Structure 1
């Protein structure tokens, strides 16, 4: 192979590029879209669909709007609802309703405010004013609470509850709600999210949620939501049925009640488990998560990077050690296995291991290494084809190289044209030459023979000392193979004329070549043992070609009658007579090649295998 960068150096350089590509993707989160989709699938498949039984949603649905009256309602409606729920023994009441402007009836506003002031278990929300509430990338120092520039509270007449909470939705970069800020820092103090505030009022232990571990590159108190149910999973009662007294009071006793919009098109968002979820159910899911004391803990980024490094090494190693199909199967199996492990870990321990970065890093490594391996294998195959093409037919080498199976012993019956040649006078010449000069002379002579044979679609079966055997029409079909065999013999003799003259002038030795050609059916194929295989032809017609060569005149090309019949339209012959060959019962007619007078049209019929 040509000198240059070594194979090892190229593999090292290639894998360095692979590592850099993967590091860039991991560092800049370029695989986040796929990671988020897998996270959503894990979330949806692992939810129980059975939220905490204490949670009850009172929905402002389309039927309620028809029954109670056009929306927005007079605020005394909410005052009456509070009165009913408090008498029924509700534990906590949270309104996912924004009342930031004064209504057309100030008396109703005042009435609602007075009703709120009577109780300590009611939460009316506020809205924190954030720099960019629709993106996860809101600027904040890691480990500090998200800071709001201000707070929008309900109007003073209504803002009578000591319990404050925010209802800010936190949208991920793709617009999906996957997390929430449990607490937001504001100029007026810390605002908990609605679910946290209601859980705390219900007497639940919320300490661990107030002191949650800080996620990498995230503000303090940012929590991934453990979605455990879609809208239909939560017990929901239409507002109008509660308002009109159709629901028994016992339904509300000791319940944590959320009041919010459930009418189509009102206050909706996209979540991992439901494309159009009314956001009152987002608060219900957060509340459910806290009541069940669940948290999702993402594995640290260093673990993800370490896992990615492991997959890069593993997939790169497997590429070089295994065959293509085995490698693909194992890489696929390992990738699927890691994804399953991620799901099981998430579903049963709420530990979120982002395996997408590792799997994709491994696949980049696999593809990079398979590209390098293919390059080296192709280069090696071409090298072998080129080198062995000097010994046997390049067409045969290519056929072997392109086959994925082992060479099979056996042959087929096929019409071939066989050319035998032998050099006379070489022995006395070799006695006058140095050993290296003998080799150089043979190489020069056989180079001429090889070039002429291959140029005319021949397969060099073997060189035996100063003799050669050449096949035509094997292993590949050669239309008009008899013509090309005769043409080869004629061109070899023409090419040797100057060589003979030089040898005779320099050494005084008469060097000559005899060539014999025969066409007929033979058995051709891989013949030998499982340890050593020779691609050759055997049969009576092979022997006939060899005997024609031994009978031929020096520096002449003699052909059999069968070859003559196939080539007489393009070759000028002289009748050489009839010769009785060993093993033959009758004499064979032989013809001496005089000149090439024409050529057959391309695409003529080739010999058929049987």
Structure 2
């Protein structure tokens, strides 16, 4: 049976390995549903643990609803934009970045109005008193761009289908980052996101502005913006994002460094700030809060010079809009209506504070290690522990994984997803529990089919509820053993036809077996007309000696009732002797690998059989050993019968018969007289014993027993032994 237990544990180990390998595979491949759940977890962590802006560098110049009401609808004339930029320059901002693409000429310029009226209406108009510098708004804006810390926005296109029909007439100035490549690293242009085209500001603008940055950002599959590329590759050149370009303008002494390995981008550094990115150079945005977490100043307040200089000096200003009608809204982890311009401000704050969310490429190693440890731990525990007992620790472990991951996020801005470790725990726990449940059900079916014919229903129920109680492997155990046998069954068989013999035996054995199982006994086997049964195996039976005696008494009472039926049906009655003994035996499955039987072996089994054989010799229905008497105490009335050496045994055995107290109250005088006779017999006073035995025969009971002692005393009187120990030697079974 040890082999079967090992096999069962190997089944659990294999099941745990399979679920762990499945979790590892899903973690590595990062399938769509897993990514979606990871996004949700990331959002939950960010919602719970986000912190306010650390730096006071970025701010928003908001073309809000109020600005549109007071300064006119969008797009504004470029001279108005030029005035806005010039005013910000006068406020001494460190950099101004426009989250707006000026891709087309300003059709409200006087020179363009004059040209359009002439082309359409054929009328040649003149503007008198208008300075030449104000006739062309685009040139006016371009001249302002040349004089200040201005960064223009543009947009890259990565989908070739979307690039069709777009004339990328761009004059963009790329940057030359410092490249640090490890051996075998891929080229920077292969590592970074690739653009196929671009929507750019007018060449007039981009050629005069100090710099430009892309505003390109792609949402995840669930339309939430979480990552932003910091660099793009286009036509073998590298271009910065709007936020990174603004930082370069505000801090010109700081350089951009790209660290590459064989898998792609390892990190990007700006000055002393190391920015953790994925292999494409995309940064996880650590959103500081919902919209308007950063400082907002209405554009109209800048135009009207109502803003405080202290709120602007030395800061990086992003010009954009929060007006719903202009549709620059980006859903984020913290706000479904987050203005796009505030994304750039968040990026600047993350980089300067050194607090972007870190999910480096090796973070997956932490997740994979957690998967392996969790899978191994839960598998090993389930190999040795009941699933019900492990459910609470499993929940605690799941919470520990979750809150451990949350703590990493809170204190170190490090995102290691708890998804796959928890998935491993849940799926392994569920799968192995299901296997164990299936095995238990199969074991119960086996138990029921294997034991239903020779175990009590109450014992079967006990085993079904707790299969671990069942121990079929060989073990040393104290049991109570019963042998019963029909006397002179051979002569009975000769008097009846075979069919009647079979029916008689069935009618006798059926109730005898039922009584055994009703008293929590286990039927071992039928040996012709004999029955072998035992108590206290395969499961423990409390007070098994008492229950074995009760069963024997009940069997003899049932036989008395059966004899009335047998006399009427077959014209005969039968007598059966029952022997009981309790002792240590070897119990378990005995036989070959293919054919075996659950039974007992040992010297005490043979002794129980010998005691049953003595019942016919003494003419008594039941004989029990001293071990039964000692265990039962005063529950029954035990009557000492003899001290003998049975055939094949050198050690003498005391044998007793047993009665219910109420059944023999009228025989107390007789029993006391027999005890007195046995005392004389033990002392070798055979003549006195003979006299007492003859008095006992007058009671008209137990004639066989009394006649036996009468005959034995007569023999001993005629042939006195040299040494007398009171022990009789039996030479027959």
Which range, TM-score by smaller chain?
A: 0.5 to 0.7
Cα separation, 2, equivalents of 1:357 and 1:459: 52
Output aligned runs, 1:347-362, within 5 Å. 347-362=410-425
Residue 37 (structure 2) aligns with: 34
Task: Quote how far apart the aligned CAs of 1:102 are.
Answer: 1.8
Structure-2 residue corresponding to 1:494: none
| CA distance in structure 1 between the partners assigned to 2:553 and 2:26 by the alignment | 69
Q: Quick check: 1:127 aligned with 2:137?
A: no
Determine if the alignment matches structure 1 residue 286 to structure 2 residue 347. Answer: yes
What is the deviation of 1:175? 2.0
Shift of 1:167: 0.4
- After TM superposition, give the deviation of residue 194 of structure 1 in Å: 1.0
Task: Report the CA distance between 1:70 and its aligned residue.
Answer: 1.6
Gaps spanning 5+ residues in structure 1: where? Answer: 135-139, 407-421, 434-440, 469-498, 504-510, 514-525, 559-579, 585-610
In the TM superposition, what is the alpha-carbon distance from 1:221 to its structure 2 partner?
2.3
2:99 aligned residue (84, 89, 96):
96
Distance in 1 (CA, whole Å) between partners of 2:39 and 2:243 is 24
- SS of residue in 2 equivalent to 1:315: helix
Distance, in Å, in 2 between the alignment partners of 1:24 and 1:142 is 30
Residues 142/172 of structure 1: CA separation in 2 closer, same or farther (3 Å cut): farther
Instruction: Compute the displacement of 1:546 (Å).
Output: 5.7
CA distance in 1, matches of 2:346, 2:485: 101
Partner of 1:238 in structure 2? 298
In structure 1, the partner of 2:434 is 371
Which residue does the alignment assign to 2:400? 337
Contact 1:182–1:209 (Cα < 8 Å) also in 2: no
Cα distance 1:344–1:534, how it changes in 2: closer, same or farther (>3 A)? same
Shift of 1:16: 4.7
Q: 1:256 maps to which residue?
A: 316
Q: Distance in 1 between matches of 2:316 and 2:507?
A: 97
Match of 1:381 among 441, 444, 448: 444
Alpha-carbon shift at residue 235 of structure 1 (Å): 0.8
Q: CA deviation at 1:384?
A: 3.0
* 1:171 alignment partner, one of 219, 239, 242: 219
Quote the offset at 1:75 in angstroms.
1.7
Q: Trace 1:435-450 onto structure 2 (pairs within 5 A).
A: 445=505, 449-450=509-510
Question: Deviations 1:338-394 (Å, cap 9, x if unpaired)?
Answer: 121112112222232222122212322222211222122222233333444333333
Deviates more, 1:327-336 or 1:181-190: 181-190
CA distance in 1, matches of 2:467, 2:483: 39
Counterpart Cα distance in 2 of 1:428 and 1:38: 83
User: Is the 1:56–1:256 contact (alpha carbons within 8 Å) kept by the matching residues of 2?
Assistant: yes
Match of 1:115 among 117, 138, 144: 144
Give 1:125-274 correspondences, 5 Å limit.
Answer: 125-131=153-159, 144-159=191-206, 160-187=208-235, 189-203=237-251, 207=255, 210-211=258-259, 213-214=265-266, 219-264=279-324, 266-274=327-335
Note if 1:82 corresponds to 2:85: yes
Normalised to the residue count of structure 1, the TM-score between the two structures is 0.67
- Based on CA coordinates, which of the two structures has the bigger radius of gyration? 2
**Where does structure 2 lack aligned partners over 5 or more consecutive residues?**
110-135, 163-186, 268-275, 470-481, 494-500, 569-661, 667-733
Q: Partner of 1:589 in structure 2?
A: none
Query: 1:18–1:365: 8 Å Cα contact kept in structure 2?
Result: yes
CA distance in 2, matches of 1:462, 1:430: 31
Contact 1:204–1:291 under 8 Å retained in 2? no
Taking the aligned partners of 1:325 and 1:9, their CA distance within structure 2 comes to: 20
Residue 439 of structure 2 is aligned to residue 392 of structure 1:
no
Instruction: Summarize deviations over 1:208-243 as a string: whole Å, max 9, x none.
Output: 764485289954422222222332211111212222
Deviation of the 1:539 alpha carbon: 14
CA contact (8 A) 1:225 1:285 kept: yes
Structure 1 position 537, deviation (Å): 8.8
Q: Any conservation in 2 of the 1:229–1:285 contact (CA below 8 Å)?
A: no
Aligned residue for 2:233, secondary structure, equals: strand
Change in CA separation of 1:311 and 1:133 when aligned onto 2, cut-off 3 Å: farther
- Pairwise CA distance, 1:43: 2.2
Matched with 1:319 is: 382
- For structure 1, which segment, 125-134 or 89-98, has the greater mean C-alpha deviation from structure 2 after superposition? 125-134
- CA distance in structure 2 between the aligned counterparts of 1:512 and 1:405, rounded to whole angstroms: 32
Residues 267 and 9 of structure 1: is their aligned pair in 2 closer, same or farther, counting only changes over 3 Å?
A: same
Label 1:424 to 1:9 Cα distance change in 2 as closer, same or farther (>3 A).
closer
Superposition deviation, residue 95 in structure 1: 0.8
Structure 1 pair 512–147 and aligned structure 2 pair: CA distance change class (3 A): closer
User: Of residues 518, 524, 528 in structure 2, which corresponds to 1:460?
Assistant: 518
Deviations 1:33-71 (A, max 9, x none): 212211222223222123421221111111221111122
Partners of 1:386 and 1:394 within 8 A in 2: no
Distance, in Å, in 1 between the alignment partners of 2:340 and 2:37 is 25
Shift of 1:257: 0.8
Could you tell me whether the CA contact under 8 Å between 1:391 and 1:460 is conserved in 2? no
Query: CA separation in 2, counterparts of 1:321 and 1:3?
Result: 14
| Cα distance between partner residues in 2 of 1:448 and 1:379 | 34
Report the Cα offset of residue 13 of structure 1.
Answer: 4.6
Q: Give the CA RMSD over aligned residues.
A: 4.7
1:328 equivalent to 2:391? Answer yes
Contact 1:142 1:214 in 2 (8 A): no
Aligned pairs (5 A) from 1:491-510 = none
Alignment of 1:301 onto 2:330: no
Say if 1:432 and 1:402 are closer, same or farther in 2 by CA, change over 3 A.
same
Distance 2:63 2:523 in 1: 102
Q: 1:431 to 1:302 in 2, by over 3 A?
A: farther
After superposition, the Cα gap between the structure-2 partners of 1:85 and 1:447, relative to the gap in structure 1 and judged at 3 Å, is farther
Query: Offset at 1:133?
Result: 12
Q: Could you say if the C-alpha distance between residues 391 and 129 of structure 1 is closer, same or farther in structure 2, counting changes exceeding 3 Å?
A: same
Alpha-carbon contact 1:142-1:218 (below 8 Å) kept: no
Match of 1:532 in 2: 542
2:519 is paired with a residue whose SS is strand
Secondary structure in 2 aligned to 1:223?
Answer: strand
Cα pair 1:423 1:466 within 8 Å, conserved: no
User: Residues 205 and 271 (structure 1 numbering): CA distance in 2 closer, same or farther, change over 3 Å?
Assistant: farther
Quote how far apart the aligned CAs of 1:17 are: 3.4
- Alpha carbons of 1:464 and 1:169: their partners in 2 closer, same or farther (altered >3 Å)? closer
Q: Sort the Cα spacing of 1:197 and 1:89 in 2 relative to 1 into closer, same or farther, 3 A.
A: same
Asked if residue 49 in structure 1 is aligned to residue 97 in structure 2, the reply is no
